[in-house]
Structure formats: C-alpha cells, structure tokens
Amino acid sequence: MSHDAHTLAGPYALDALGAGERHRFERHLPGCATCAEQVAGLRETAARLALAAAVPPPDTLHERVMTQIDGIRQAPPPLRSPRRSLGRVRRVPGRLAAAACVMLTLVSAGAAAHWRGDARDAQELNRRITAVLAAPDARVATVRAAADAGGGTLTLVASRSGDTVLVTASGLRPLPAARTYQLWFLGSARPRPAGFLPAAGRGPVLAAGLRDARRLGVTVEPARGSSQPTGAPVVTVPLD
C-alpha cells in the first residue's frame, strides 16, 4: 500500500480516515520513515487548527478535572517496545549489530550455564554486557586467529567510555587441560593481563581496565596464567 499510504498522510493527520483505513495506515507508519516524518509535521499543523478554535471552557470543567485526578493513579512510563529497541541497534554499524547478535546468543547459551551457581552474578554479568553493547562509543572488531591456533576467530566489542572489552572466540584449537588462552591489553607499556578465554561455548568474557591499551592479544599460557606473555600472540585485535 506504499503509494496509497503516502497519499493518506493528509486525511490521517486530519482524522479523516475511517476506522479500517486508520488502522491500516498506523500499521504502515512504523516501517515508513518518510510517512512518519510527514505525518508528524502535518499533525503539528492540524494542532494549530485546534489552537485557533480555542474557546474558554466553563469553570465547572476545571473543578471536575482537578477533582477527578485526585482519585486517578498515573500510568507508569511505557516500556520501550522491542521494535524500537531493534531500531536503536540498527543505527549502529552493521558489523556491530551482527556482533551484538553473536554476543547475545553466546550470553544466552553460555553465560547462564557458566554462572549457573549464582543467579545474581549472572544477572550482574548480563547487565555489564548490555552496558558495553549499548555504549555510544562501542566498537566491534573481528580477527581471524593464526593457523596454529586452529584458525578460529576472535570478536570483541570495546567501549573506551566504559573502560571495558567484551570478548568472544569461536573455532580456536582446543587446548590440553594444562594450558589456557590468556588475554592481554597491549599498548606502549608492558602487556597487562586481561583475563582468560573460557572453554569453547562458554560465553563471552568481560575485560575491564582498557585504559590506554591499543590492542587485545591472546597467548597460550599455563592453566594458572602468567604475569607476562610467554609466547607470541595467536591473535591480536585492534581496539580502535
């Protein structure tokens, strides 16, 4: 109905559509930015026609309204509809949106199991993950690991304002129990430990303390971790 919908903007703004057409037009609006924008302007215009018709109401109205509101419970703010939330995600770069989907999938699939022991911890983790994904300066990067690491990929979402990086890996070569993938913040100073990648399918890692780091690196270390990298990184990902 796209052509028709455009021509209905005028009648709609004037409340001159029958119930059926009004309903159809309102269903069309959210998917048509041009229509929505035009309707908003025409609605404002129609409101001026109402302002021009202003008439002092009877005094009884004031009393009736003020009396009635005393007994009325106010509606809480509406929750953002899922469609609108998706709209927000759509505005960030496509790659970030894709990464966010990957992350969210991992969160739901892995994090809950990983932190099964404590629901409050899981909740807190989810809150922090959401905060990184929603940060206005969130940036995403995906890099393929070296062949000797199994050729998997590392995806991260970094937020400098949140001082946090969200990291997830897929397809990395599984390590023997005595070894682990350790994360490092790399920059001009000495590498700083940034945590460990959990076993495959176990969800993302949040690494705080980004500070002045330029890259995130992954090395293979003894299971208990190292204070400094003991080998070359199997993958490094730029943070900016």
Partner 1 sequence: MDSTDSESRAARARPAPHDDRADLAALLAQVARGDRDAFEQVYRRLAAPVYGVALRVVRDPAQAEEIAQEVLVEVWRKASHYRPDRGSATAWALTVAHRRAVDRVRSAQATRVRDQRAAVPDRDYDQVTETVHTHLDHQQVRRCLRGLTETQRESITLAYYGGYTYREVAELLNVGLAAVKTRMRDGLIRLRDCLGVQA
Site for partner 1, rule CB under 8 A? 7-11, 13-18, 37, 40-62, 64-66, 68-69, 72-78
Residue 27 half-sphere exposure toward CB, CA atoms < 13 A = 6
Which residue, 14 or 232, is less far from partner 1 as judged by CB? 14
Minimum separation from the CB atom of position 137 to partner 1 (A): 22
| Residue listed under structure tokens 């004031």 | 62
Minimum separation from the CB atom of position 32 to partner 1 (A): 15
Q: How many CB atoms lie within 10 A of CB 186?
A: 21
Which residue, 61 or 208, is less far from partner 1 as judged by CB? 61
The long-range contacts involving 106-109, CB below 8 angstroms and separated by at least 24 positions, are: 106/168, 106/203, 106/204, 107/203, 107/204, 109/201, 109/203
Which residue, 86 or 208, is less far from partner 1 as judged by CB? 86
Which residue, 83 or 120, is less far from partner 1 as judged by CB? 83
Q: Which element (helix H / strand E) includes 92? A: none
Minimum separation from the CB atom of position 97 to partner 1 (A): 22
Minimum separation from the CB atom of position 88 to partner 1 (A): 13
Minimum separation from the CB atom of position 119 to partner 1 (A): 30
Q: What is the DSSP letter of 216?
A: E
Minimum separation from the CB atom of position 76 to partner 1 (A): 6
Which residue, 38 or 130, is less far from partner 1 as judged by CB? 38
Which residue, 46 or 97, is less far from partner 1 as judged by CB? 46
